[in-house]
Amino acid sequence: MATQTIAHGEQQRVNYLNWKTTVASWLFTYDHKRIGILYLVSITIFFLLGGIAAALIRMELATPKGDLLTSDVYNKMFTIHGVLMIFFFLVPSIPAVFGNFVLPMMIGARDVAFPRLNLLSWYFFMVGALLATIALVKGGIDTGWTFYTPYSSSFAKGEVSLAIVGVFLAGFSSIFTGINFLVTIHKMRAPGMTWFRLPLFVWAMYATSLIQVLGTPVVAITLLLVAVERSLRIGIFDPNLGGDPILYQHLFWFYSHPAVYIMILPGMGVISEVISAFSKKRVFGYHFVAFASLAIAIIGFLVWGHHMFSTGQSIYASILFSFLTFLVAIPSAIKTFNWMATIWKGRVHWEAPMIYALGFMGLFVIGGLTGLYLAAMATNVHLTDTYFIVAHFHYVMVGGAIMAYLAALHFWWPKMTGRMYPQSWAKLSALLVFVGFNLTFFPQFILGYMGMPRRYHSYPEEWAALNLLSSAGASVLGIGYLLPAIYLVWSLKYGRVVTERNPWGARGLEWELVDTPPDPHNFERTPIVTRPAYDYGHPEEPTGIIPKPRPVVVGGKDG
Amino acid sequence: MWNIPFVPPTASQEAVGISWLYWVITALSVFFGGIVLFGAIFLAVKYRAGNQNVDRSNATDSDLRLELSWTLIPLILAIAIFGWAAKLYGDIYAPREGGYYEVFVVGKQWMWHCQHPNGVRENNELTLPAGQLIKATIISQDVIHAFSIPAFRVKRDAVPGRYNAMYFTPTVPGEYHLFCTEYCGTKHSEMIGKVRVLPPDEFEKWLQSGGAGAAAAPMSLEEQGKQLFTKLACNTCHMNPNSAVKAPDLNGLYGHEVKLADGRTVKADDAYIRESILNPGAKIVAGYQNQMPPYQGQIKEEEIIALIAYIKSLAQAGGGN
Amino acid sequence: MSVKEAEVLEHGTSLAHPAHEEILGEQFETLEQQNNAYLIGMWAFIVQEVLFLGAIFAAYGIYRLKYLHEFTLAHKELDWVVGGINTLVLLASSYTMARAVRAAMQNKHGRQILYLGFTLFFAGIFMFNKYIEYSKKYEHHLIPGWGYDAHAIVEHGEKKKILEPLPDGNYKIKLETEKTVTPEEFKQRTQLFLGFYFILTGLHGLHVLVGMIAIGVLMVRAYIDYKKRKPVADYMPVEMVGLYWHFVDIVWIFIYPLLYLIGR
């Protein structure tokens, strides 16, 4: 079992993939790398389901009349799309897959601080996902992913409470992952891995974990209160029972705005890694980029009221929230300019991950700048709840977060699997995603400015052409997303075998000191970090070294 | 086919300002977005690994002056936009003292119900005079809706249990879309209508004729309120000098400060009167007992609006102290 | 390279005592690192709990301000004596828990089991009192959504002369200020209070229950360690549960005045 013979006839090293191969060894693994793979497989399924719902939505909207689906089915479709994509794909995407897979290696640790809790998180996630899927399939729910009261608590039919319990469990999965990473970053860094030698992905994950721990509990309890109101008819949010529906929005957005940063911050971390690795140059303004992550996490908690400018909240509250929203835009601008400066005077290798990263920059910049229209109170009033919002958050969370997710997948794929995917297909799909994405969502900005409300099943005739364009673009985008699924799976069997540790010539412990695919314990011995992150200026000196065997052997424990 | 609109009509005073703001932000976005998009691609091509003919000397990885400039310049621009946008926001939402024509809007699953002060009612339609400042007072009877008129660039949520108001001045006669923009259930996308702006004289004619095409209600809101006032027996205590029960005088009440039993002072506005009808015990006027029965659950939103209109008319009559 | 780095390079990274190895997780280098990791993790968990419960406290505070009169009457349905006894019982359990942690640090297994037993005993009394309280609420039809009926609150209010039924069927509540409400409103708003009561005490009780299970596990572990005459104090689990237990107590210290005492 420990060694296998592969096609080339050479003996293969024991690695985390082949040292045990039973199903149980996967389902009960404490190995952060295997748990990362478990997440990868499970969220891919939910991405597919959410994507099918999206396809149906765009097909319905290809014509102005509501002719393909009934309005009830349409409402259920966008709810499925939102709930699955946000709670079961985007929130766990980069943190749970790549946070798990590379974060411990990046800081020179054998595993996360609490491996059993890590596995438990995955089970929470899966049980939550199962309950939510049952709720969405069995009759469906039509509240939208925001579960706004009093509609969700007193009016909507269907299994709302069951879906809420599912989201609640997924929330705790996210909280546990956050706690795990916080402690891991604090206590598991290898000797010499000081805070300012950390790769920027780790800084981004630190900021993300803070949000997960501080924000998620609030939405968890808020949704639970909705379920309580639904079942017991206690008037917490329904004004007919004595409650206040706006209180729900305050509590909901207290989490759900920072949750946007849970989705985008890890993506920004990935982009820092990828741009540096393929420009062969240290990330420009390391400290500014690192602190920008923290600034986003902290200020991000103080801006939730910008979702409520038209609800009737006090004008003074709105002014404050608007101002803070403009402030939170600045760190993102800082990051973007620093990425540009990283490319400046670098040696840019146009490999697939780099193309995805450049695509991220393009889409994220549009997503970020259109945020200004929404931070500005007067334009927000006109644009809120229109397709402008839909386009804006898709640019950030799909154009940004998923582009970064794909960049990460292509960047670390050889490390994860020991196989290389076909570069030309990868580059083609990056291009298709970029073009398809813009075709789909750019027209929606225009539709939104003209006033097309979101969550509409039918719309006035004069908007038919732009909607048709958007639906056509969605089919290009769909192909762009399907292609990687095909060639990546293909590469598992037929891709070029990667045996060298560092196929990209990148800096970082996971590339320089970890085998491909990694050893079950990542490092043969705890490494010692001797140089800052991204030290491309000194190619002869590695980022870290593996020390000599210890004088006192403590005994080799194998997993 | 080539007659595809790309911008909404600009049909109110507010729409002019907000459109300007929109296009200025767009210009800034195109400028900065262009720098990043084309800058990144240009740099990535210029410094491609295969290109040996570029100067890569003195490639630093930090520069405080650069960092500060791309922190401070966006910051200053952001604060400028913030201030401008806040001013325009205030124009729509900040309470005003008078000089407006008031319409009442009640949202319910899935229709809009609009009322004019003279009692004309419209369903899923709203007719307004051009060149006149409008105050729309908006409330919902069930779930949250939002009352949106893109051509005017205004929108306000209709929240059950509370009045929201917005102000705008339609300028260009014509017909415009009216949408519900807050998801409200199955037929959300059918909760739409038309806003019709008429020249002032035509509007007057329309209004006097009882609203051609609208559900005619010959009685003005005030009169409806007056009738309700009797029907609900408000008049046995209020406005009755011979009443055994001592009730606050409603003459000249609306719009004035009221001293409460607990020492606070509140302004008698729509929200206060609505609350005092539904839940009289919440804010008791100084010197009075809490003897009025609450009307929560016994009166429709439209009826409250009529009662408020009546009480308002008592203030304008100038009677009382 | 710093001096320290050079030193580590020379001597290897781990200087773990062989005897510690048994309790050292394989992902950790030293016991100190492991202990610190557990501590930070537990504190992060507690911070998360504060926000989780804090949101309910915040909502409760908002509605108490809004419906002060109705809530004040409903407050009086809670038994402040039983609540007070429970406060003392929990405080005592916190003390015995602290002693158990100390015993664990000194590797005194017998004493550890004894104090954990006391803690479990106090927790049992707490839960028993909770059961008494809840069943009284059931008798008075005060469980939200379960045939809820505000009659008991109305009667008690009348007896205390702070609630007066009016001829038209409405209720007048007389505190420092007066307020008239319909029976329906009165029912809704007192039910909201009891809803908060059951959500807060229910979640708290759930936490106590989880703590009791953890304490039970610790007792079994201590007994096994005692049998094995384990030489090294494996006190971290006890310390963790201790932290958790003190947190659960502190939550009660907020619940008791805010729900039981404030309306008296």
pLDDT digits (tens, 9 = 90+) for A208-265: 999 999 999 999 999 999 999 998 888 899 988 888 999 999 999 999 999 999 999 9
Claim to verify: residue B232 and residue B306 sit in the same structural domain: yes
Claim to verify: residue B205 and residue B253 sit in the same structural domain: no
Put simply, the answer to whether B39 touches A340 (Cβ < 8 Å) is: yes
pLDDT tens digits along A372-422: 999 999 999 999 999 999 999 999 999 999 999 999 999 999 999 999 999
Claim to verify: residue B214 and residue B262 sit in the same structural domain: no
C120-159 residues touching A, CB cutoff 8 A: 144-146
What is the Cα–Cα distance from B9 to B7, expressed in whole angstroms?
7
Q: Are A150 and B144 in contact (CB under 8 A)?
A: yes
| DSSP class of B105 | E
**Last residue of one domain, picked from the residues B157, B191, B218:** B218
Name the minimum distance, in Å, from the CA of B62 to any CA of chain A.
Answer: 5
Answer yes or no: is pLDDT of A525 > 90.
no
Q: Which residues of chain B does C182 touch, with a Cβ-Cβ cutoff of 8 Å?
A: 293-294, 296-297
Query: How many domains does chain A contain in total?
Result: 1
Name the minimum distance, in Å, from the CA of B34 to any CA of chain C.
Answer: 42
Cα-based angle B251, B257, B261 (whole degrees, multiple of 5): 95
Q: Do the domain assignments include residue B61? A: no
State the average pLDDT over residues B276-303. 79
Claim to verify: residue B252 and residue B205 sit in the same structural domain: no
C5 to chain A: closest CA residue: A192
What is the Cα–Cα distance from A113 to C53, expressed in whole angstroms?
26
Put simply, the answer to whether A451 touches B150 (Cβ < 8 Å) is: yes
Q: Are A168 and A220 in contact (CB under 8 A)?
A: yes
Answer yes or no: is pLDDT of C220 > 50.
yes
Put simply, the answer to whether C21 touches A251 (Cβ < 8 Å) is: no
A191 to chain C: closest CA residue: C5
Tell me which chains share at least 3 CB pairs under 8 Å with chain C: A, B
Residue span of the structural domain in which B102 resides: 1-38+66-218
Q: Are B44 and A343 in contact (CB under 8 A)?
A: yes
Q: Are A315 and B89 in contact (CB under 8 A)?
A: yes
Q: Do the domain assignments include residue B46? A: no
Query: What CATH number does the domain containing A496 carry?
Result: 1.20.210.10
Report the SS3 class of residue A519: strand
What pLDDT, on the 0 to 100 scale, is given for residue B249?
80
User: Residue B139 is inside which H or E element, if any?
Assistant: strand B134-140
Q: Do the domain assignments include residue A406? A: yes
pLDDT tens digits along A39-55: 999 999 999 999 999 99
What is the Cα–Cα distance from C191 to C183, expressed in whole angstroms?
12
Q: Hey, what amino acid is at C6?
A: A
Claim to verify: residue B153 and residue B192 sit in the same structural domain: yes
Alpha-carbon distances of C165 from A149, A186, C153, C172, C180, rounded to whole Å = 33, 62, 12, 6, 9
A-interface mutation test, from C52, C63, C200, most A Cβ less than 10 A away: C52
A20 pLDDT tier (thresholds 50, 70, 90): confident
Q: Do the domain assignments include residue A484? A: yes
What pLDDT, on the 0 to 100 scale, is given for residue B120?
86
Highest mean pLDDT among B200-204, B206-210, B218-222, B250-254: B200-204
Q: Mean pLDDT of all residues in chain B?
A: 87
State the average pLDDT over residues A435-453. 96
Query: How many domains does chain B contain in total?
Result: 2
Put simply, the answer to whether A286 touches B177 (Cβ < 8 Å) is: no
Q: Are A148 and A249 in contact (CB under 8 A)?
A: yes
Q: Which residues of chain C does A178 touch, with a Cβ-Cβ cutoff of 8 Å?
A: 44
What is the Cα–Cα distance from B245 to B227, expressed in whole angstroms?
21
State the average pLDDT over residues B77-86. 95
State the average pLDDT over residues A310-338. 94
Judge: domain C53-261, CATH 1.20.120.80: yes
Answer yes or no: is pLDDT of A6 > 50.
no
Alpha-carbon distances of A305 from A155, A245, A317, A377, rounded to whole Å = 25, 14, 8, 11
What pLDDT, on the 0 to 100 scale, is given for residue B66?
92
Q: Do the domain assignments include residue A378? A: yes
Domain boundaries, chain C: 53-261
Report the SS3 class of residue B54: coil
Tell me which chains share at least 3 CB pairs under 8 Å with chain A: B, C
C242 pLDDT tier (thresholds 50, 70, 90): very high
pLDDT tens digits along A72-100: 999 999 999 999 999 999 999 999 999 99
What pLDDT, on the 0 to 100 scale, is given for residue C232?
73
What pLDDT, on the 0 to 100 scale, is given for residue C162?
86
pLDDT tens digits along C64-83: 998 998 999 999 889 899 99
Q: What pTM, to 2 d.p., does this model score?
A: 0.89
User: Residue B259 is inside which H or E element, if any?
Assistant: strand B257-259
Least confident of A299-308, A425-434, B119-128, B256-265: B256-265
**Last residue of one domain, picked from the residues B170, B196, B218:** B218
> Among candidates A121, A179, A182, A132, which has minimal Cα distance to A159?
A132
Q: Do the domain assignments include residue B196? A: yes
Q: Mean pLDDT of all residues in chain A?
A: 92
Claim to verify: residue B250 and residue B162 sit in the same structural domain: no
What pLDDT, on the 0 to 100 scale, is given for residue B2?
55
Alpha-carbon distances of A324 from A219, A314, C86, C138, rounded to whole Å = 21, 16, 45, 48
Question: What would the 3-class secondary structure string for A67-78 be?
Answer: CCCCHHHHHHHH
What pLDDT, on the 0 to 100 scale, is given for residue C86?
94
Report the SS3 class of residue C164: strand
C170 pLDDT tier (thresholds 50, 70, 90): confident
Claim to verify: residue B181 and residue B291 sit in the same structural domain: no
Strand partners, A522: A519
> Among candidates A402, A407, A421, which has minimal Cα distance to A503?
A421
State the average pLDDT over residues A522-536. 90
What pLDDT, on the 0 to 100 scale, is given for residue B317?
54
pLDDT tens digits along B136-151: 999 999 999 999 999 9
> Among candidates A91, A476, A423, A420, which has minimal Cα distance to A261?
A91
Claim to verify: residue B106 and residue B30 sit in the same structural domain: yes
Claim to verify: residue B140 and residue B12 sit in the same structural domain: yes
State the average pLDDT over residues C221-243. 86
A555 pLDDT tier (thresholds 50, 70, 90): very low
State the average pLDDT over residues B193-216. 82
Strand partners, B126: B195
Answer yes or no: is pLDDT of A10 > 60.
no
Report the share of chain C in percent with pLDDT over 70. 92
pLDDT tens digits along C111-159: 999 999 999 999 999 999 999 999 999 988 888 888 888 888 888 888 8
Query: What CATH number does the domain containing B291 carry?
Result: 1.10.760.10
Residue span of the structural domain in which A230 resides: 24-545
C210 touching chain A per CB within 8 A = no
Highest mean pLDDT among A542-556, B272-286, C25-39: C25-39
A94 touching chain C per CB within 8 A = no
Q: Which residues of chain B does C184 touch, with a Cβ-Cβ cutoff of 8 Å?
A: 296-297
Q: Do the domain assignments include residue B242? A: yes
Query: What CATH number does the domain containing B183 carry?
Result: 2.60.40.420
Claim to verify: residue B300 and residue B203 sit in the same structural domain: no
The string of DSSP letters for A78-132 reads HHHHHHHHIIIIITTIIIIIIIHHHHHHHTT-SS-S-HHHHHHHHHHHHHHHHHH
Residue B59 structure tokens: 């490639």
Q: Do the domain assignments include residue B45? A: no
pLDDT tens digits along A164-215: 999 999 999 999 999 999 999 999 999 999 999 999 999 999 999 999 999 9
Claim to verify: residue B214 and residue B241 sit in the same structural domain: no
Report the share of chain B in percent with pLDDT over 90. 51
C11 pLDDT tier (thresholds 50, 70, 90): very low
What pLDDT, on the 0 to 100 scale, is given for residue A553?
45
pLDDT tens digits along A93-126: 999 999 999 999 999 999 999 999 999 999 999 9
Q: Which residues of chain A does C69 touch, with a Cβ-Cβ cutoff of 8 Å?
A: none
What pLDDT, on the 0 to 100 scale, is given for residue A178?
96
The ipTM value here is 0.90
Answer yes or no: is pLDDT of A427 > 50.
yes
B275 pLDDT tier (thresholds 50, 70, 90): confident
